[in-house]
Amino acid sequence: MHDEHPSSRDAPVPAAGSGVTFVMPVLNESAYLARSVRAVLAQEFDGPREVILALAPSGDGTNALAAELAATDPRVRLVDNPAADIPVGLNLAIRAGRYPTVVRVDAHSELDAGYTARALDTLARVKAANVGGVMRADGRTPFQRAVARAYNSPVGLGGGAYHGSRAEGPAESAYLGVMRRAVLEEVGLFDESIRRGEDWELNLRIRAAGYRVWFDPELSVTYWPRESWSRLVRQFHATGTWRGELVRRFGRRNSLRFFAPPLLVVALAAAVVVGALQAVGVLAGPAALISSLVYLPLLAYVVLLIAIAAGRGGGTGWRDRLWTLAVVPSMHLPWGVGFLGGILRGAHGTVDTSRLSRNTPLP
């Protein structure tokens, strides 16, 4: 956690019981949407609520399911998001809402029953503009549990506070986020030109305006990762590409941890070149010995992989552990390749296709 901007302004604290707007961008989430919405409706706090689903053009029956949910509970409302972009959907849902506190929810996530009440208490206590907690990844299959193990490891996703820190305090960003509407409107909502990393960029503007972004480890959200290897690779390549774009735009305001995956890609490429030159005899004798030092970072990385696979969480069976050895580099390497492309060429129209079904057209 760090806060490079002075937090000198207190965010407004609405009267108790003023109500909460939950916003959720949705695309091809038929397997998760009902549980996520039920978890929101079961939140234990005083005051009215509304759940606004921003519906992209799904191809798996998600929108029909959303219509059923809205028909059975008037607190569930629908808005169309034909662009299918997450920040566009979030802004549509926020603008359609009525209440002074906005809770971002992912259809692939489930809130603990006391999540909102705790977040409201924390927002009022520290007068923050945004508060987030810990992402607790979980899985239903050996593959998904292996991905969850990587998510929950400091090594897997770079050690951000929301991946397991226990220290409450000012933060760079917030996972999902419980936000004050007045501050969102002041800084201009989400930047619709950013398709991934939009939450980080929003929190950058919140902190630049002098408000606090806060991490509370007592807040916990269950997150269900991608269910297949191809979807995981596509997700992380798009995320890395957009992080490269954010580095182009905002430079040193990005944390150094974002540069680890591209450095891994560069180290792997260097090792391949050195290995080839050694194999054909171009590098021999002392030169071969010295050039072999290029393998050391990869050896250290393999040791880290084994440590993650052997650690706790995300399943304990041998299939789970073997999948962990496969999924961690399947996250780091596509992310790193995407980052290098993004920083060199920009993200342009890069889309995260991991949510698309066969029947869903590209946005």
Domain contains 240: no
pLDDT band at 313 (very low <50, low <70, confident <90, very high): low
Q: What is the pLDDT of residue 251?
A: 87
Question: 108 with 190, same domain?
Answer: yes
Residue 56: HSE in the Cβ half-sphere, 13 Å Cα cutoff:
27
User: Band of the pLDDT at 306, cuts 50, 70, 90?
Assistant: confident
Categorize the per-residue pLDDT at 361 as very low, low, confident or very high, splitting at 50, 70 and 90.
very low
The domain in which residue 336 lies consists of: 250-351
130, 267: one domain: no
319 to 67, 282, 327: CA distances (angstroms): 39, 41, 12
Q: Are residues 221 and 262 in the same domain?
A: no
C-alpha angle 230-235-240 in degrees, rounded to nearest 5: 125
Residues 336 and 188 in one domain: no
- Is there a domain that residue 242 lies in? no
Per-residue burial over 263-286, b = 16 or more CB atoms within 10 Å of its CB, e = otherwise: ebbebbeebeebeeebeeeebeee
The model's pLDDT over 56-99, given as tens digits with 9 standing for 90+, comes to 999 889 999 999 999 999 999 999 999 889 999 999 999 999 99
Residue 343 lies in a domain: yes
Predicted pLDDT of residue 312: 63
Both 163 and 257 in one domain: the answer is no
Radius of gyration over every alpha carbon of the chain, rounded to an integer in angstroms: 22
Mean pLDDT of the chain: 89
The label of the residue with tokens 């760090």 reads 2
Mean pLDDT is highest, among 20-24, 133-137, 191-195, 247-251, for: 20-24
Q: What confidence category does residue 358 fall into, taking pLDDT thresholds of 50, 70 and 90?
A: very low
- pLDDT bracket for residue 347 (50, 70, 90): very high
**Claim to verify: residue 178 and residue 281 sit in the same structural domain:** no
Greater model confidence, 246 or 254: 246
Tell me what pLDDT residue 360 has. Answer: 47
Sorting pLDDT into bands at 50, 70 and 90, what band is 316? low
SS3 213: strand
Is 272 among the domain residues?
yes
Task: Say whether pLDDT at 140 is over 90.
Answer: no
Q: Please give the Cα distance from 297 to 261 (Å, whole number).
A: 12
Kindly report, residue by residue over 179-213, the tens digit of the pLDDT: 999 999 999 999 999 999 999 999 999 999 999 99
Pick the last residue of a domain from 157, 191, 226.
Answer: 226
The contacts of residue 123 (CB under 8 Å, 6+ apart) are 11, 13, 101, 131, 178, 180, 214
pLDDT of residue 231: 92
Question: Residue 38's domain is classified under what CATH number?
Answer: 3.90.550.10
The reply to whether 314 falls in a domain is yes
What confidence tier does 2 reach under pLDDT thresholds 50, 70, 90?
very low
Q: What is the count of structural domains for the chain?
A: 2
Mean pLDDT of 306-329: 76
**Does pLDDT of 314 surpass 80?**
no
The reply to whether 151 falls in a domain is yes
Mean per-residue pLDDT, 123-139:
94
Pair 204, 338 in one domain: no
**pLDDT band, very low/low/confident/very high, at 362 (cuts 50, 70, 90):** very low
Percent over 70 (pLDDT), the chain: 92
Confidence of residue 157 (pLDDT cuts 50, 70, 90): low
**Range in 156-160, 197-201, 244-248, 346-350 with the lowest mean pLDDT:** 156-160
Whether 28 and 130 share a structural domain: yes
Judge if 261 and 219 occupy the same domain: no
Residue 70 falls inside a structural domain: yes
What integer pLDDT is reported at residue 359 of this predicted model? Answer: 47
pLDDT of 272 > 80? The answer is: yes
Does 188 share its domain with 75? yes
Please give the pLDDT value at position 108: 87
pLDDT (mean) for 31-50: 94
- Do 85 and 198 lie in one domain? The reply is yes
